[in-house]
Amino acid sequence: MSPTKPAPSGPRRIASRWVGLLLVAPFLLYVLTFLILPLASVVVLSTHQVNDQYHVEPAWTLDNYRRVLDPENLPILLRSARYAGLTSFFCLLAGYPLAWFIARHGGRHKALLLLLVMLPFWTSYLVRIFSWMTLLQTEGLLNGALLGLGVIHEPLGLLNTPFSVVLGLTYGFLPFATLPLYVALERLDGTLLEAAADLGARPATTFWKVVFPLSLPGVVAGGLLTFVPAMGDFVTPEILGGVDTLMIGNLIQQQFLASYDWPFGSALSLVLMGLMLVSILAFLKLVGSTESLA
């Protein structure tokens, strides 16, 4: 038997503990400065009130949270969840075949194709959304092309509609759904597809019985990575939407920058964070169940 390594003495144990603390100190300082302290200030601010002079006064009340569920604000919350859900659905619908093509048919060009998927992120998000505004406006390229081809006889009202908002959100967050799907499909064992074909399974049957169940963790991850940012987005509905497409992100922005009701804006932000936390926990539970079934 090899001799056992002696345990470090007391001074050496204390020194190694201090070295470990020094190594994690920058990370702990970062989390404390940019996460815990700002979040604590938002929690405290959400219990305050604003007086007639727009000054924040300590009140230690939960009225701001009750205002979140006001009948005037509840439709905005439901609309935000609906738009985010549609965005996740269309991102997965468009990203799945794209990820499948890259994973199974990309060959030596996979890195280049993935780079092209991420290429829009090299441009400012505002520039990309404003480009959609020029495409969808009444005198834009889309209406001009349809009028020139004789498909329509008068311009379509595409801007300031739920269609334009969901389209902009889907375009903006499509890579967030494509990449997790690609990872899940890349790990798929090709011999399973060959075995299904040898057993006489049709392509559609192979997809629903073999491919889709094994790629479900990527589907769930892609849905979460698109739903969470889409739920809190305010730039896209601000530029491509109108009054009837207001989302919770726009409502929070208005409270901080227009109404100067920072306590109510803080309560809205915390409620949104709570909804995101519930989504993440549901994601973790669903991923655990799918992995256990696999």
Q: Which two tokens stand for residue 206?
A: 């192979």
Query: Using CB atoms within 10 A of its CB, is residue 110 exposed (0-12), middle (13-18) or buried (19+)?
Result: middle
pLDDT tens, residue by residue, 90-145? 999 999 999 999 999 988 999 999 999 998 888 888 899 999 999 999 888 888 88
Give the number of C-alpha atoms closer than 13 A to the C-alpha of residue 177, restricted to the C-beta side.
Answer: 31
Q: Are both 130 and 19 inside the same structural domain?
A: no
Q: Are both 286 and 153 inside the same structural domain?
A: yes
Q: Are both 24 and 110 inside the same structural domain?
A: no
Q: Are both 194 and 254 inside the same structural domain?
A: yes
Q: What percent of the chain has pLDDT over 70?
A: 94
pLDDT tens, residue by residue, 238-259? 999 988 899 999 999 999 999 8
DSSP 34: I
pLDDT score, position 242 = 86
Examine the pLDDT at 1 and tell me if it is beyond 70: no
pLDDT score, position 10 = 61
Amino acid at residue number 276: M
SS3 assignment, position 50: strand
Q: Are both 250 and 201 inside the same structural domain?
A: yes
Helix (H) or strand (E) holding 57: strand 56-57
Rounded-to-integer distance, Cα 176 and Cα 181, Å: 9
Q: Are both 270 and 139 inside the same structural domain?
A: yes
Amino acid at residue number 248: I
Q: Are both 237 and 137 inside the same structural domain?
A: yes
State mean pLDDT over 43-71: 90
Give a yes or no: residue 49 inside a domain.
no
Q: Are both 22 and 102 inside the same structural domain?
A: no
Give a yes or no: residue 183 inside a domain.
yes
Give a yes or no: residue 154 inside a domain.
yes
Q: Are both 200 and 80 inside the same structural domain?
A: yes
Q: Are both 189 and 247 inside the same structural domain?
A: yes
Examine the pLDDT at 263 and tell me if it is beyond 60: yes
Residue with tokens 């192979």: 206
Residue with tokens 């609309």: 79
Q: How many domains, the chain? A: 2
pLDDT tens, residue by residue, 148-199? 888 888 888 889 999 999 999 999 999 999 999 999 999 988 888 889 888 8
Q: Are both 19 and 90 inside the same structural domain?
A: no
Please give the residue that has the higher pLDDT: either 19 or 265.
265
Give a yes or no: residue 66 inside a domain.
no
Query: Which residues form the domain of 91?
Result: 74-293
Residue with tokens 């549901």: 282
Q: Are both 33 and 97 inside the same structural domain?
A: no
Give a yes or no: residue 246 inside a domain.
yes
Q: Give 262's pLDDT tier (boundaries 50, 70, 90).
A: very high
Alpha helices by DSSP H, 106-124: 110-118
DSSP 140: S
Give a yes or no: residue 273 inside a domain.
yes
Looking up residue 259, the CATH number of its domain turns out to be 1.10.3720.10
